[in-house]
Structure 1
């Protein structure tokens, strides 16, 4: 007799096999030695973790940085485990023996007699004194004043370190078990919600983001927090599963088809996909002459994102989290969460990166975003009632708009617009049909949009809330509330995919400044007339547009296109009796207002706008730097209204069809962008030279010392960098960064020395413009030796005179 396996058993078997596979990957990634010591080199990497210390200096006898303590100094150190620890302090006194008291977490450890000669002191710390959340070392001492120095000096503090005396062998197995159980619980919960096979994709994404963030960090305290977070999420999954199991299954509610058009067939969708792909190739081919060596746009943020794609692949291959970069902002390292992690590109692109490299992955992701944004917009337009032809034009108008084209030239984090449209598509579907799949798509779209950029994190939630409010079928409120079980899928998926991703971001930003200068907000906001400005990137009139609207660039490139705007007006008029048209108009108008930033200036009058309230009073929204990026939401609404305007096009009278055809041709013509820039991705001659130098001393590039290319070119030089790039500087780094930019001043050179810098790369032409006379100043610095010149760069090696290393 032939054994037959039911579909339910088969899919359950897949759940188990998938979970076992994730367990094996987790074990491979996590079962490796962790860091056992946390050492702070005082005066170098103590920024943001120390207090009660004077400005950094360099010791003539030690050849290393140090800082004098005041009467009370503190250093915060991370726990290396839950075992006994050893605390090491290297110190010296100002003159003669000096007595000081060392405490840990307000518990007295020892009274030490410190001598004028530098010496390292080791103190035993019992396990019960260690705090996983962080440990504060306090040094109390008497102070003296030296001749000619008004400072109250305690002791010279060179380094403070905390080391675990036993390995934390239990942690990696506990992490593996937690991720495995959480994944299995998520699968079971989604299975009870009738999620179908998409639950496997969601489970893989959950495991991938969990493992690539803090779980694979080499620092104990970060792994411990990740373990607690995963256990908490497992508890949420258990709660959700319990609620679903004990509740009575809700009846399936049939959605009214009023105002709907039947969705396009598979063949039609495939044809549309091919057309969008051909249009993408047409637009990008001139911009990327060789997709393996060139990327769109001038050198800038685009190189930063190529580096991030490669860094994710390299770090995970080394079985370490890419969320922390030890070779940027050396020697302290850089929490990448101060910038955009963009796992929608860096993490999801890993398979392609492993096969073809970061450059091809970067270009493929850009091309894919055009096609998917256009396709998802077309499906959304059909869902709200546009015909196939109108939906196609809506997809083209949104997918290939100027806003998107501007951002492919540098800001890759913003091109994940397809996920924004997917979230709206799911929400619109759920409000109509109350299906689990639509709720899943909403949650998945929200999560992947945030994975693309945190700009979409808070703003997309606001958009969806306004959309739901205006589209809410009030007569069916009871039916929608009764469908809470399928609705649960949206927040469940969003939580599963966003919590591990948000973890390092919350950690990084809670200790630093997250507000931008008000002037920066004004600079990166749109203006009303920008929505009508011609495209400076257009293949035909781009040069003319750049001349007549020279101040419309970058953040101001938000114009949706005149033809699309006219079609949107037609759609609003033809559908004026339908709620959907006024919903799109309201959401689009609100998006335009938000894109104008914190204020609108009309002559001498200054009109405060809603973004000002967000900047002043809303913590998360207050971190937004470029409000013009919200213009994407207006573009989507305008495109959808244009699609509605073309509904029933084949049945129009001849004059209407002619006018409509002219406008459609206008839409197609206006999306023909052709920016003249592309960037090569090979190493520079100076990078090849640096790679051949002995040692791995850190580098500094001036005058543009805070830029994306700095991160990228570390791939070739093999040297760490004293700086990096991101939305925010690391906590406490502001002073050092300001001093480094003063090169070749004495203070700048001293800062380079104490941070471990060895080479300064000077871009001569840019330096001549930014700091005339720098050559004469450099010649007067005996610590600088000119060791390299090419057509663009001069390199100085930083030497420390009369210092023992």
Structure 2
């Protein structure tokens, strides 16, 4: 059901809703899942390469997993951003750019499906009914702020967080409504919860780092509660499942941390200064502002986004106006106890104060004292946690409304009455979370790419075009200098700058030093850039030029 909902919400329904809202003037052309990519033509093309590369490397060249075919000759290219390693199995099937685009579009939809499933499962385990759980899943998966990250699959892939928490709670026989019940413990669910948490971490530390700290906090609280309650029996199998699962989780986390620390050791400049973090920190107004791809609110909130200045997609934090209202009412009317509601509210406030980064009083503490946070520049992504807690509060309200409606109705009509009261609210919640995502045509690799011998470099080279070149490289994964990610090393930047003078003797010398003998010039993209001079460069000793269609292939003798 969550997959069908995701396909409808992300791919099928938005064009028709836009058509209705525009009184029939908006186009209804269906997007091709092979020739178009969801979001924009930048980061998604790079992430489609990541999934393809990790699958290829695990099957054919696992020793080069982190030292990818891009960023030659630098190591650890896969760790220049969140690796999406957990999606590698999708890369086992198919090859080339078309398969990479289709694969990305499928995974994009599945990320929303898993987020809905995770939110649903968590609330069901806590004690909510199916309508409340569905509302929490919808809030977690389709919150408007998430569409500001329509090009960030690593941020949208949050379903494993809620699902792991649900599994761990179920495995330990714990819920909001019943507390701890030893007879309900399930070691299999405990192991599955830790494995799911490890898989979530394998996607990257962008949202995985806070998750790891939250899990650590949950473990400490659970251990404290266990001690205060007189150390009730947990069962030998549960303890073994915890020990084994935790070992796997720590092993995966430690392994990935070591890789990313190696990158920081090689490039210490990637640490984000406090002033740099301030450029991406939201304000309180972000909680009331939606991103451009939000179907109900995107156009209306354009002036507010413009006033945010730099990177507004990182500063829009709208979780949903209806969600705010339901959560506020859930503080008063709910199946959760008063103590639980107070704790949920405190968690929401804490999460919001952290999400506004330098504009709040708390983020500097985690920036200074929690390892890893000094490497991130986007505190607004922490709004994920208030969103989840708001959904739990709303679920408590809806579950209680169902019970009251059923109690006030004659026998035989209780279920219908409960649905009449609550299902419309769920429908409106889904509507407010509907996107108008772009489906951008994918740039097809020019014919000259098939004739270039690796290692090679493609011109022009910058943070935009290199993402498309990364996608082209899925046809065989040739080694190349090009590459774009969350960081740009001084060495990579230096080569790009030097290649603006190609085929100068200095540029030739640098290419020979790193083993590159082939340079591809894509005329369509090089025109109007600092690399344009290469189109009419005079004959140079040691370099052979050959025109391939509209493009140029240079070979260093």
Q: Is TM > 0.5 for Structure 1 vs Structure 2?
A: yes
TM-score class, shorter: 0.7 to 0.9
1:531 to 267, 282, 287: 287
Q: Normalising to structure 2: TM-score of the pair?
A: 0.78
- State yes or no: 1:629 paired with 2:381: yes
Cα pair distance change 1:501/1:795, threshold 3 Å: same
**1:367 has 2:127 as partner:** no
Question: Counting helix residues as a fraction of each chain, which structure ranks higher?
Answer: 2
The 3 A distance-change label for structure 1 pair 721 and 362 is same
The aligned counterpart of 2:23 is: none
CA distance in 2, matches of 1:664, 1:577: 23
CA separation of 1:280/1:500 partners in 2, compared to 1, >3 Å: closer, same or farther? Answer: same
Q: Secondary structure at the match of 2:459?
A: strand
Residue 683 (1) aligns with residue 472 (2) = no
* Structure 1 residues 335 and 275: alpha-carbon distance in aligned structure 2, compared to 1, 3 A threshold: closer
How far did residue 595 of structure 1 move?
1.7
Q: Which residue of 1 aligns with 2:55?
A: 313
Q: Does 1:282 align with 2:23?
A: no
1:685-714: CA deviation from partner (whole Å, max 9, x where unpaired): 2xx123235x44511433525742232222
Q: Return the offset for 1:419.
A: 0.7
Work out which of the residue numbers 306, 311, 316 in structure 2 matches 1:550.
306
- Summarize deviations over 1:172-222 as a string: whole Å, max 9, x none: xxxxxxxxxxxxxxxxxxxxxxxxxxxxxxxxxxxxxxxxxxxxxxxxxxx
Q: How does 1:418-437 map to 2 (within 5 A)?
A: 418-429=159-170, 430=172, 431=174, 432-433=180-181, 435=185, 436-437=187-188
SS, match of residue 710 in structure 1: helix
Residues 366/588 of structure 1: CA separation in 2 closer, same or farther (3 Å cut): same
Q: 1:547 to 1:749 in 2, by over 3 A?
A: farther
* Corresponding residue for residue 473 of structure 2: 714
1:696-735 mapped onto 2 (5 Å cutoff): 696=454, 698-702=456-460, 704-705=462-463, 707-716=466-475, 719-729=478-488, 733=491
**For 2:306, what is the secondary structure of its paired residue?**
coil
Distance 1:334 1:648, change over 3 A: closer
- Relative contact order, CA 8 A, sep 6+: which one is greater? 2
| Alignment match, 1:412 | 153
Matched residue, 2:356:
596
Distance in 1, Cα, partners of 2:493 & 2:49: 26
Deviation at 1:727, TM superposition (A): 2.9
Residue 128 of structure 2 corresponds to 386
Offset at 1:743? 4.5
In 2, Cα distance between the equivalents of 1:663 and 1:767? 53
Partner secondary structure for residue 266 of structure 2: coil
Rg comparison, structure with higher value: 1
Is residue 479 from structure 1 mapped to residue 232 from structure 2 by the alignment? yes
Indicate if the aligned counterparts of 1:574 and 1:645 stay in contact, CA closer than 8 A: yes
With 331-340 and 301-310 compared, the bigger mean Cα shift is at: 331-340
CA contact (8 A) 1:739 1:748 kept: no
What is the deviation of 1:542? Answer: 2.8
In structure 2, runs of 5+ residues without a counterpart are 16-27, 175-179, 410-416
Q: 1:349 corresponds to which residue?
A: 90
Offset, 1:439: 2.9
SS of the aligned residue for 1:759 comes to strand
What pairs with 1:52-451 in structure 2 (closer than 5 Å)? 275=5, 278-283=8-13, 289-325=31-67, 327-332=69-74, 334-346=76-88, 348-353=89-94, 357-407=99-149, 409-429=150-170, 430=172, 431=174, 432-433=180-181, 435=185, 436-451=187-202
Distance 2:420 2:477 in 1: 62
What is the aligned partner in structure 1 of residue 393 from structure 2? 641
CA contact (8 A) 2:38 2:439 kept: yes
Partner of 1:521: 277
TM-score by length of 1: 0.56
How far apart, CA to CA, are the structure 2 residues paired with 1:287 and 1:727?
34
Structure 1 or 2: more strand by fraction: 1
Partner residue in 2 for 1:582: 342
Higher mean C-alpha deviation, range 588-597 or range 446-455 = 588-597
Q: CA deviation at 1:374?
A: 0.9
Instruction: Count residues with an aligned counterpart.
Output: 511
Inter-CA distance 543–749: structure 2 relative to 1 (3 Å threshold) = farther
Is contact 2:59–2:92 with CA below 8 Å preserved after alignment? no
How far apart in 1 are the matches of 2:71 and 2:374? 25
**Stretch moving more, 517-526 or 585-594:** 517-526
8 Å CA contact 1:415–1:452 kept in 2: the answer is: no
Deviation per CA, 1:760-799, whole angstroms, max 9, x where unpaired? Answer: 536767863x65x964997589578875598xx8647376
Please list every run of 5 or more consecutive structure 1 residues that lacks an aligned counterpart in the other structure. 1-270, 601-606, 800-804
Q: How far off is 1:416 after superposition?
A: 2.4
2: CA distance, partners of 1:749 / 1:400: 51
Which secondary structure state, in structure 2, belongs to the residue aligned with residue 568 of structure 1? helix
